[in-house]
Structure 1
Amino acid sequence: MRFTVLILLTSSCYCDVEFSERPRNFSIELLYHTQKQTGGHVVISPFGIWTLMTGLAVGATGDSFEQIRVAFILPRSLKTVVCGSKHLTKSVLKRTSDGVSITSKNFLFADDDFLLKPAFKQTITEDFDATVKVLDFKDSNEAAAKANNFIQNSGARVTNVLTSEDFEQSRMILTNVITFKGLWTSPFNASHTTLEYFYNENKEVIGEVNMMHQKGEFPLSNIIDLKSFVCELTYGTDAAYSMLVILPHPGVKVEDVYKKFENITIPDIIARLQNDEKEYGLDEVEIKLPRFKISTNIVMNRPLNDMGVYDIFDPEYASFSRATNESIYVSAIVHKADIEVSETGTVASAVSTAYLSNRFGTTKLIADRPFLYFIIEKSTATVIFAGIYSKPSLY
């Protein structure tokens, strides 16, 4: 029997401190293991996957819980997991900002003969603010239609998330729908977008892109220890959310930058940008960034295996006895994500389904070769979306 959990996130751009460090610390590792299966051109939602795995942890016991806990840097106390997740989600996703809106909706779809333990159901409904819906999974077409209707009526900018096949071998589906919409604080002028070459890490032309262009005062640092230039492009009028564009130095590969993340964190980067701005002020910077769209559809089993999560996928060893007395396991965790970056802002969505330096006068950031990007909530330094752009296409 298979345990299905689905989490869906859509973002568009048109707790406490100790706990908030957890989802951001594993983001680089997760992106690293995922990009190995996608040829390096990828977008994922680390916060969304973290939310999914936190929900799984609430129902897991034994080694199933311990492996999730270690991989996703969760506290040992289940009470702390629940409380911390609740407060962090509120901090990251429920901020009000002119020019940015972000919402989160949770659903639990259960088969009509599937028995949830009362404590688990209470935790999901009260602490994860989930709406519980009982459906007849045997009529898989009708179940999918009703589930998708519930999701769409929640205000999510997505349609037809679940298919009839998702219900055929499942007993429970847990879905988290996140919608993020924001505009650049300083939008690009579409009339300045031009067709330009894009290069690989060996300085060879590998395609063309519609290159957006603007000049303005932006935080920009040359972080020697990261072998990269880092620029921050903010969303909304209060700049509570932003995109960090990390462009490796000429001749430096994205993979080399990954290795540097062992000693440099996202909060370190944010602090460096802030310190440089305080010490040197903001210079006028020329920014060139491709207008792009990336879609990723990947089974996360192997990346999670690489992070030490095994038992939840094994019918013999999986243990979800906090959720139910039935013998269930996760057959697959599928993550679907896409991102669009244009002159006005960023549109990103993600669906995860579990069946179950020294600054030295840099005034340009020309992203005409592979680069990394992170969309973050700044007060907690939480990575909501992350990716690599390395395969040019016209968009």
Structure 2
Amino acid sequence: MKCLVVFVFTVATCCAAMDFSGRARNFSLELLHFTQLETNGHVVISPFGIWSLMTGVALGATGRSRSQLARAFLLPKDETSIINGYRNLTKTVLDPTTQGVTLASTNFVFLDNGFNIFEPFRKTLTTEFEAHMMELDFKDSDSAARIANTAIKGSGATVSNVLRSDDFGNSRMILTNVISFKGLWSSPFNVSDTNVEPFYDENKNKIGEVKMMYQRAMLPYSNIQEMGATVLELPYGNDNKYSMLVILPYPKLTVTEVYKKFASIPLKSIFERLDSDIVEYGLEDVDVKLPRFKISTNVVLNKPLNSMGVFDIFDSKLASFEKITSEEIYISAIVHKADIEVTESGTVASADTSAYFADRISTPTFEANRPFIYFVMEKTTGTVIFSGIYSKPSVF
């Protein structure tokens, strides 16, 4: 029995109205929840990169393999609807005209010599998903890795050495997605205002130190009591198309407790709340403290996807990919690698509880000196490009 290995690789370097979009957005929230359980809560992932690649894989699956993927990734049954929805969504998300934002996503398919895939599936990947396809000698794994990494780098990707020679061992096909984002803040932080400060857990126990950035700026801000958190939006560029949403739990509330509120308070409602507060209070100055940070995550997604109901594709006896090839194949692992860097230019002391229930007369303070949730989003579709949780402080 041969195996199909799917590697999902995503990287973010951060310096500083479609019906289909809801599918990717809702999947994103669930995936982050189950992935953070595998990483002790400190994590970054690219839900959009994973969703993009696995949508393509789902088009090659049949039977229970297909139905489990469709349920987990919230895909319509009709193949044409999947392809059209994917095309329209990615066109909007990945076509930034925003000054100060660069965003690119590229799919690659590496085939072992002699491994034949059906022409319709090949055409779908290369045409609809714009995948770069290449045949390599997987038995010469060192050469295969070198050629594959050269092809990835030659596409303009900002990463190198994506694949290792070990990745080609028992594989017959490797699918890779590389997604990169760089965004400059619309309102950058001043480097001279950055200081080393304590970082606490939810019970105000000091657990480390961070380089804390600071600015006072007119930014969208809300206190959402029903969520138990304050919310801040940090826009990128010049047109409000991309932004980072930071969700800071009230003191003594954990990230997990707040995250569960997404079941009743979707991301769309949070942005509506931000907009309504601007209408009610106007766009006001907010004192913002946010750590400089860099997070790297390397996680196998098999278990998180198991938690979302995806099992058969990982089982050599149950996997069904009859639209891909006549050979018996299965997915041995879905490996996700992601990096995010947040600095003063962009994305490459705590208040007591009473402050979070105060009115908007005085200048509000948003001090992220304890664990928080963040999302890098394309706002017109509500698509989560990157998401994560910051909970392990370090001086960066």
TM-score tier, shorter chain, comes to over 0.9
Distance (Å, rounded) in 2 between the aligned partners of 1:27 and 1:109? 26
The answer on 1:154 being equivalent to 2:155 is: yes
TM-score by length of 1: 0.95
Structure 2 match to 1:340 = 341
Structure 1 match to 2:166 = 165
Structure 2 match to 1:87 = 88
Contact residue 110 and residue 173 of structure 2 kept, 8 A: yes
Cα distance, 1:50–1:209 mapped onto 2, change above 3 Å: same
Structure 1 match to 2:284 = 283
Distance (Å, rounded) in 2 between the aligned partners of 1:393 and 1:176? 29
Q: Alignment partner of 1:261: what SS?
A: helix
Cα distance, 1:81–1:359 mapped onto 2, change above 3 Å: farther
Cα distance, 1:52–1:299 mapped onto 2, change above 3 Å: same
Contact residue 13 and residue 235 of structure 1 kept, 8 A: no
Structure 1 residue 37 displacement after superposition: 1.4
Structure 2 match to 1:360 = 359
1:308-364 CA-to-partner distances (Å, cap 9, x unmatched) read 0000000000011111111000111111112111101112xxxxxxxxx99832611
Structure 1 match to 2:353 = none
Q: Alignment partner of 2:49: what SS?
A: helix
Distance (Å, rounded) in 1 between the aligned partners of 2:337 and 2:52? 15
Contact residue 13 and residue 100 of structure 1 kept, 8 A: no
Structure 2 match to 1:380 = 381
Distance (Å, rounded) in 2 between the aligned partners of 1:374 and 1:17? 19
The answer on 1:312 being equivalent to 2:313 is: yes
Contact residue 199 and residue 206 of structure 2 kept, 8 A: yes
Give the alignment of 1:55-74 within 5 angstroms: 55-74=56-75
Q: Alignment partner of 1:372: what SS?
A: strand
Unmatched 5+ stretches in structure 2: 349-355
Structure 1 match to 2:249 = 248
Structure 1 residue 81 displacement after superposition: 1.1
Q: Alignment partner of 1:147: what SS?
A: helix
**Matching residue's letter, 2:32:** L
Structure 2 match to 1:130 = 131
**Matching residue's letter, 1:101:** T
Contact residue 198 and residue 205 of structure 1 kept, 8 A: yes
Structure 1 match to 2:351 = none
Structure 1 residue 139 displacement after superposition: 1.3
Distance (Å, rounded) in 2 between the aligned partners of 1:26 and 1:175? 20
Structure 1 residue 10 displacement after superposition: 2.5
1:22-79 CA-to-partner distances (Å, cap 9, x unmatched) read 0101212111111111111111111111112212101111100100110111111111
- RMSD, aligned CA: 1.4
Structure 2 match to 1:351 = none
Distance (Å, rounded) in 1 between the aligned partners of 2:395 and 2:265? 33
**Matching residue's letter, 2:192:** S
Contact residue 10 and residue 337 of structure 2 kept, 8 A: no
Q: Alignment partner of 2:347: what SS?
A: strand
Contact residue 99 and residue 236 of structure 1 kept, 8 A: yes
Distance (Å, rounded) in 2 between the aligned partners of 1:132 and 1:235? 33
Distance (Å, rounded) in 1 between the aligned partners of 2:347 and 2:286? 21
Distance (Å, rounded) in 2 between the aligned partners of 1:360 and 1:79? 50
Structure 1 residue 2 displacement after superposition: 1.2
Distance (Å, rounded) in 1 between the aligned partners of 2:332 and 2:233? 39
Structure 1 match to 2:260 = 259
**Matching residue's letter, 1:214:** Q
Structure 1 match to 2:225 = 224
Contact residue 3 and residue 329 of structure 1 kept, 8 A: yes
**Matching residue's letter, 1:323:** I
Structure 1 residue 9 displacement after superposition: 2.4
Distance (Å, rounded) in 2 between the aligned partners of 1:61 and 1:249? 46
Q: Alignment partner of 1:179: what SS?
A: strand
Contact residue 22 and residue 73 of structure 1 kept, 8 A: yes
Report which stretch shifted further, 75-84 or 57-66: 75-84
TM-score by length of 2: 0.95
Distance (Å, rounded) in 2 between the aligned partners of 1:314 and 1:204? 44
Q: Alignment partner of 2:166: what SS?
A: helix
**Matching residue's letter, 2:258:** V
Structure 1 match to 2:118 = 117
1:77-101 CA-to-partner distances (Å, cap 9, x unmatched) read 1111111111111111122211111
Cα distance, 1:277–1:358 mapped onto 2, change above 3 Å: farther
Unmatched 5+ stretches in structure 1: 348-356
Q: Alignment partner of 1:24: what SS?
A: helix
Distance (Å, rounded) in 2 between the aligned partners of 1:78 and 1:358? 49
Structure 1 residue 3 displacement after superposition: 0.3
Identity %: 56
Distance (Å, rounded) in 2 between the aligned partners of 1:345 and 1:337? 17
Q: Alignment partner of 2:323: what SS?
A: coil
1:244-270 CA-to-partner distances (Å, cap 9, x unmatched) read 000011221111112211111111111
Contact residue 6 and residue 333 of structure 2 kept, 8 A: no
Structure 1 match to 2:207 = 206
Distance (Å, rounded) in 2 between the aligned partners of 1:49 and 1:91? 17
Distance (Å, rounded) in 2 between the aligned partners of 1:85 and 1:139? 35
Structure 1 residue 5 displacement after superposition: 2.1
Structure 2 match to 1:22 = 23
Distance (Å, rounded) in 1 between the aligned partners of 2:278 and 2:318? 52
Structure 2 match to 1:188 = 189
- Paired residues, number: 385
Structure 1 match to 2:6 = 5
Structure 1 residue 11 displacement after superposition: 2.5
Distance (Å, rounded) in 2 between the aligned partners of 1:22 and 1:43? 20
